[in-house]
Structure 1
């Protein structure tokens, strides 16, 4: 599970309009981007649990703040640090979604935006559940966010790090959860959705921390992310406790034609696919997301990591990105983390 140090929660409304003015020039030059078309990581700091979505010429980025939901809008991911975040929601002072706002994700389904986030009841971790907001505006930094309430996942157990996938027209939801109400190891579960805010059972466990590299600190599988490619869909997840420097990415794979809400549809890679890496300026890389450049020529991995050993699960984590390729078997090849001192070619089209 995750542990954060946060400020007091600000009391505002359940459904609200953006409290800031939209940034009309979100990508002015910054010093981390040079004149030869290259940039250096990190792209944003602090920025634990980074998430990116692309639509209509803009990237929209979110990350954990702990006490609100903010969206960055930019046409250039390498200049993300120049974008001013827009606060689109703050939690109530009390209630089931009042504290510890973790790992928000922004998804567009049939022209409507949805934010999925984890929250608990006044700081009681055992009450963590997933919640949904909806916005019909074309630009998610504008318009009105309507509270759809708790995403009532099957069995109603502890849940964090939820993500949405749409495969062959079917909506799936994957998340990290406990088997019972007593804590312990975190597993990856999946279920089907009938619409973006309505789940249907059963809850199916598709991965548990059973390998040594998944149990550093204690057994953790969390932060699953769908990555479709050709006839396969990959579920990339983070393993081991984020408080260790051994945090790393694991991989499940399935055929896109399969019923993904079935445990036997998935095959687990026996070794990490990114990390564990504890050297130089990268420690504990994980909690990833992906984007493809608008020209469809490049695939990019976005993730967080610490710059020094022992910095744990807090706000030392910065967002970084680097391109990745595909192996001959169709699985992703993420390589190794890029050192913060190294320049990287900017994404195609920037």
Structure 2
């Protein structure tokens, strides 16, 4: 039987995030090619997101500390309100600060986040004043956690993964805890990167997927996991995959899969893997400005030990 080669669900949307809410809608956001806004859409099914109308929830200011390169927004419903977490850089005229991203949050108390007013909540301060991005949040045992990527000037590389408790949906509590840093050969190709974490709970475990290396065909995904009853702020309880769990499929021409999120199929139980990838490698200029990272969606599989099986980015 010949494999069915996957096609993008949504073209030219990188860092995709799909959230299935209790209202029965799927909500989608991602980095837009212009990196100048936070765009939202919603639909009753995952497939319908492709043609769903878009709404601009927030547009960057012309100047200031969060006026360039709006990256990797995620939409979450925390403590009775909607939040979008995103990263942004200072004004372009301060060229040496162009990639000095910090993390920010906006809030909407309307039942439908495509309507109502979005309030800028300011910077999510980690207590470390360095490049940071790709924040996500998750609830576990009544505690809201913040999980993100950040540079540590004392550690070789571009970014590591950190976790912290949150005291409000826009403020962390306590000192950040280092969970993972680039160390394996597949994590340091082009750049030394751990970024784009996403959380999944199943089979008595907490899983954290993440992306590594440069954002070209070297981009690949790794996995961390811990027992669901463990202290998630203890680095010792986490196990890290030695090999990537998701990587370029040269056979079928799907390159650099990563920056994923997880959602659930319409049956409410099947976990769906959401990720971006490119369909060619001949990138002209800086890969950052190439718009052709497309959103793909496929079911996640499981092995006999209750571990996720990601398979190939090109096939179901």
TM-score, normalising length: structure 2: 0.90
CA distance in 1, matches of 2:84, 2:155: 28
CA distance in 1, matches of 2:314, 2:192: 27
CA distance in 2, matches of 1:39, 1:213: 25
Of residues 250, 268, 276 in structure 2, which corresponds to 1:278?
Answer: 250
CA distance in 1, matches of 2:222, 2:198: 11
CA distance in 1, matches of 2:308, 2:171: 31
CA distance in 1, matches of 2:180, 2:157: 14
**Structure-1 residue corresponding to 2:128:** 155
Of residues 256, 259, 277 in structure 2, which corresponds to 1:305?
Answer: 277
Of residues 53, 61, 79 in structure 2, which corresponds to 1:84?
Answer: 53
CA offset at residue 296 of structure 1? 2.2
2:192 aligned counterpart, secondary structure: coil
CA offset at residue 127 of structure 1? 2.7
CA offset at residue 39 of structure 1? 10
**Structure-2 residue corresponding to 1:64:** 31
**Structure-2 residue corresponding to 1:131:** 104
Change (3 A) 1:225 1:204: same
Q: Any conservation in 1 of the 2:301–2:309 contact (CA below 8 Å)?
A: yes
**Structure-1 residue corresponding to 2:8:** 42
2:163 aligned counterpart, secondary structure: strand
CA distance in 2, matches of 1:213, 1:42: 25
CA distance in 2, matches of 1:248, 1:292: 22
Q: Deviations over 1:292-324 (max 9, x none)?
A: 124323111010000111433431110011111
1:41 aligned counterpart, secondary structure: coil
Question: Is the deviation greater in 91-100 or in 142-151?
Answer: 91-100
Change (3 A) 1:272 1:39: closer
Change (3 A) 1:252 1:71: same
2:14 aligned counterpart, secondary structure: coil
2:158 aligned counterpart, secondary structure: coil
Aligned length: 302
Change (3 A) 1:310 1:259: farther
Residues 1:173 and 2:146 aligned together: yes
CA offset at residue 182 of structure 1? 10
Q: Deviations over 1:150-188 (max 9, x none)?
A: 011132321111111111111111111110299843111
CA distance in 2, matches of 1:224, 1:94: 29
Q: Any conservation in 1 of the 2:248–2:313 contact (CA below 8 Å)?
A: no
Q: Any conservation in 2 of the 1:132–1:151 contact (CA below 8 Å)?
A: yes
CA distance in 2, matches of 1:182, 1:210: 11
Of residues 202, 220, 236 in structure 2, which corresponds to 1:248?
Answer: 220
Q: Deviations over 1:258-295 (max 9, x none)?
A: 22122212110111111143343301111101111243
**Structure-2 residue corresponding to 1:316:** 292
Which ranges of structure 1 fall in alignment gaps of 5 or more residues?
Answer: 1-37, 345-350
Of residues 295, 305, 329 in structure 1, which corresponds to 2:305?
Answer: 329
1:204 aligned counterpart, secondary structure: strand
Q: Deviations over 1:213-241 (max 9, x none)?
A: 11111211110111111321011000111
